[in-house]
Amino acid sequence: MILHFIILLPLLAALAIWLGAPGRITSVIAAGVNLLLTLGLLVQYQGLGNNGEMAFINGFTVLSEPHIQFAVGADGISLVLTLLTTLVTLAALWSTVGKDRIYYIASLLISGGALGAFLCTDLFFIYAFHELALIPTFLMIALYGYGERRAIAWKITIYLGAGSLILLAGLSGLVWLCSPDHKITFDLLALEPVKAGSGYPTWWVEATYFTLLIGFGTLVSLFPFHSWAAPAYAAAPTPVAMLHAGVLKKFGLYGLIRIAMPLLPEAAQAQWIQHALLYMLLGNILVMGLVTIQQRRLDGLLGNSSVMHMGYVFLGLAAGNSLGMNGALLLMFAHGISIALLFLLCGKLRNQAGTLEFDKLGGLAGNAPFLGLVFGIATFASIGLPGLANFAGEVLVFLGAFKDFDVKTGFTFLQIATILSLWGVVISAVYMLRAYRKIFFGKAASGIFVSDPSISQRIPLIVLAAVLLVVGCQPGLLLSLLESSLNLLAGK
């Protein structure tokens, strides 16, 4: 029942706030309790020694035919993503001060939806909880966003709505293919993988996987289905940008790792699908990297940068081996923390300076050394500096891509794509370091200054920065949880 409670607690807190409970204290307490419960489950799960198997399984039947149940379970993968969700949620809510109740309600709904998507083991509820999280995202951008917020809200609604419909079609085909004895079930633990000799036409199985790739990929901003992401993050209120870019966008990657790849393993390795994925992820890394260099505002730079870095995660999935997949999952966690920290800093700069244009900023480190220090840590994490969490994930991804390299046969398309992707590291260093220099060093171009936040408001910044440092110096803390669960999924 503990997993049910973790999912429902943010929803109950949102209901309490809607009924009149104080917004900030109620939401912060709920987020704090969820973080403590998640840490407790992580310790307990490590003590079970169950070799990556699903634990804490519980559920009850909602519908018998087709079989649908509100079932939950957790392994190393889902617990790491739950930790990411609860960390970012607490940081986002702690930093939200003096806002309308709707800010806290929307943030809690996004958090609850993400937790449900990561912890449920029934495809119906996995999909439903993700859709629950999208609704407040659309509304918050339209009501409280920046710039052309209503047009952007419509754009993200159309894009993600279309992606969700494609995903629904793919999941429907998956359920039909993988249900045992043709008894339709949405239970992820009961679905059986479709392997060679199953009797289904190859084109049908591969088409189903590719549909899932496009559906999940659109939710992750996979190139060329990415154009909704950067404007949405730039326009979104700070807690929404933190939760969507840092947490909810990882759902598409989680779905590929948890659902599509284990159940359709042969289709995932089909050559034409692999080549299509490599072309698309190169678009994320190289095309979006060049687009990001051209940005003249911090919010636009961070939004496009988030799209770019998803390419490295997809590269780990394309590698398909233990090294690459571990790197992809570690990078998902590291990117979630680092981009949430960057958007939190972006929001603080916007509130004080009133602008995020690089040409109007400069010299801010003089009056705000703490912000300069934390922004520097987040910047170095984003570009993959050794000792920070993103570096460990990227190195594993690159090593995974070259794990099967053979001098006699030469480079495969995967390895050529990896070599090209290395230029993305250079590109990201250029635009992030340039942004850091323009904002915090030199002289204030327009006489704009900011001050460091209060001691209380420094806490979420310190926590997120500390997580990047701890995981960067000791990635085994998470890899020990991820590796056994990945190996179990690969042998499913």
Mind listing the pLDDT tens digit for each residue in 134-178? Answer: 999 999 999 998 988 899 999 899 999 999 999 999 999 999 988
- Please report, rounded to a whole number, the percentage of residues in the chain having pLDDT higher than 90: 67
**pLDDT at residue 179, as a whole number:** 85
Residue 333 Cα distances to 137, 166, 393, 410, 424, angstroms: 21, 26, 9, 33, 19
- Residue 271 and residue 269: Cα distance in Å, rounded? 6
The DSSP call for residue 179 is S
**pLDDT at residue 197, as a whole number:** 65
Token code pair at residue 411 = 């480079």
- Residue 377 and residue 211: Cα distance in Å, rounded? 38
**3-class state of residue 66 by DSSP:** coil
Closest CA to 136 of 223, 207, 69, 236: 236
- Please tell me the pTM assigned to this model: 0.94
Chain mean position to CA 400: 21
- Residue 453 and residue 368: Cα distance in Å, rounded? 8
Q: What b/e sequence results for 263-275 when a residue is b if at least 16 CB atoms lie within 10 Å of its CB, and e otherwise? A: bbbbbbebeebbe
Closest CA to 6 of 51, 58, 46: 58
**3-class state of residue 475 by DSSP:** coil
Residue 410 has pLDDT above 90, yes or no: no
Q: What b/e sequence results for 286-310 when a residue is b if at least 16 CB atoms lie within 10 Å of its CB, and e otherwise? A: bbbbebbeebebbbbbbbbbbbbbb
- Residues 206-223, mean pLDDT to the nearest whole number: 94
**pLDDT at residue 255, as a whole number:** 94
The CA dihedral of 352, 244, 118, 279, to the nearest 10 degrees, is -130
Residue 96 Cα distances to 25, 104, 143, 460, angstroms: 11, 8, 16, 11
- Residues 464-486, mean pLDDT to the nearest whole number: 90
Name residue 241's amino acid: A
The full DSSP string for 377-408 is HHHHHHTT-TTSHHHHHHHHHHHHHTTT-BTT
Given a contact cutoff of 8 angstroms between Cβ atoms, the answer to whether 113 and 105 are in contact is no
**pLDDT at residue 49, as a whole number:** 65
- Give me the residue label for tokens 């995981």: 471
486 class by beta-carbon count within 10 Å (0-12 exposed, 13-18 middle, 19+ buried): buried
Confidence of residue 445 (pLDDT cuts 50, 70, 90): low
- Residues 361-387, mean pLDDT to the nearest whole number: 91
**3-class state of residue 442 by DSSP:** coil
Name residue 309's amino acid: H
